[in-house]
């Protein structure tokens, strides 16, 4: 079937506790999610339903994790798709995919006996970039319009509540129509972790790894300024691989040090201009 193309349905096994640092983002997000949890009260008070939340920040900082944790927190079904999945050569295909996505979310919640579903759209900027800047982007416009139509149609009177979480690392490039009230009217900033955040992330990703006496994660956290959560996850994995190569029973500090270098080097290589 084409309806399932690119859509990932995942179990909601991520907990807010599995996300290191990001305490401000977590708090803001949880507050917003309470709108979904208490939708009955919202209805009684005539409060406008929350339909969309925008997560913005650099790559690898945990936006996808936050979306998954949001689904768990609200006991919602979870569907994820990337903005790039809507990019098609043929007119109307992207818009049709958006329509199907919302249908699918409702179906899934029904099947899973949930009263709400969270749709996570990664790289929303691909379809939600400022309109009219380029005539050849007509097809994206149709897709974006369909997304807005779907979101405008969401409401408290629906049997299944749908909340759209979208992620971008270029919030400034988004079409203002997306950010209007009743659409993505809440923004949660997800920044690179500070030292404490980095330590929390290192702790999470070494939970099930044997560490030698000499390992000082605080020191590693101190020395990994500007690393994202994804980078830090790589460091812990790389350190374990290096320990394996040394035939060591435990991961030692030198493995972490070398792993940091490797991840740094990988980043530098990525940033080299391609000729």
Residues that bind ligand ATP in the complex, under the rule CB under 6 A:
19-22, 59-65, 122, 167, 169, 201, 204, 229-230, 233
With vertex at residue 77, the alpha carbon angle to CA 71 and CA 83, rounded to the nearest 5 degrees, is 80
- For ligand ATP, the closer of residues 154 and 200 by Cβ is 200
CB of 159 to ligand ATP, least distance (A): 30
- For ligand ATP, the closer of residues 143 and 236 by Cβ is 236
- For ligand ATP, the closer of residues 63 and 97 by Cβ is 63
Which residues are CB-neighbours of 32 under 8 A, at least 6 positions away? 50, 53, 186, 188
Strand arrangement, sheet containing 161-168: 8-9, 77-82, 116-122, 161-168, 52-56, 186-189
Helix (H, G, I), strand (E, B) or coil at 82: strand
- For ligand ATP, the closer of residues 42 and 171 by Cβ is 171
CB of 67 to ligand ATP, least distance (A): 8
- The residue number whose beta carbon is nearest to ligand ATP equals 229
Q: Are 219 and 200 in contact (CB under 8 A)?
A: no
CB of 60 to ligand ATP, least distance (A): 5
Q: Tell me, rounded to whole angstroms, the distance of Cα 63 from its chain centroid.
A: 3
- For ligand ATP, the closer of residues 44 and 196 by Cβ is 196
User: What is the distance between the alpha carbons of residues 80 and 68, in angstroms, rounded to a whole number?
Assistant: 9
Which residues are CB-neighbours of 102 under 8 A, at least 6 positions away? 119, 150, 162
CB of 169 to ligand ATP, least distance (A): 6
CB of 254 to ligand ATP, least distance (A): 23
């Amino acid at each position: 079937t084409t309806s399932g193309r690119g859509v990932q349905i995942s179990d909601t096994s991520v907990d807010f506790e599995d996300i290191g640092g990001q305490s401000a983002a977590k708090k803001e997000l949880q507050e917003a999610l309470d709108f979904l949890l208490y939708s009955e009260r919202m209805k009684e008070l005539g409060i406008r339903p929350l339909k969309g939340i925008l997560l913005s920040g650099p790559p690898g900082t945990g936006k996808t994790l936050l979306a998954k944790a949001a689904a768990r927190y609200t006991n919602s079904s979870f569907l994820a798709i990337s903005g790039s999945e809507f990019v098609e050569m043929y007119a109307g295909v992207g818009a049709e995919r958006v329509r199907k996505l919302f249908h699918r979310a409702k179906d899934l919640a029904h099947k899973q006996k949930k009263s709400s579903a969270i749709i996570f759209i990664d790289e929303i900027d691909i379809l939600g970039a400022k309109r009219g800047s380029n005539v050849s982007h007509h097809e994206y416009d149709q897709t974006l319009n369909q997304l807005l139509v779907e979101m405008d149609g969401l409401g408290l009177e629906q049997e299944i509540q749908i909340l759209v979480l979208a992620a971008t690392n270029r919030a400034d490039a988004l079409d203002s129509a997306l950010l209007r009230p009743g659409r993505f009217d809440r923004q949660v900033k997800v920044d690179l972790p500070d030292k404490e955040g980095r330590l929390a992330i290192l702790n999470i990703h070494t939970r099930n790894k044997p560490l030698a006496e000499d390992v000082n994660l605080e020191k590693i956290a101190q020395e990994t300024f500007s690393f994202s959560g994804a980078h830090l996850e790589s460091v812990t994995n790389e350190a374990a691989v290096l320990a394996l190569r040394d035939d060591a029973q435990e991961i030692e500090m030198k493995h972490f040090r070398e792993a940091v270098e490797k991840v740094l080097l990988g980043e530098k290589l990525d940033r080299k201009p391609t000729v």
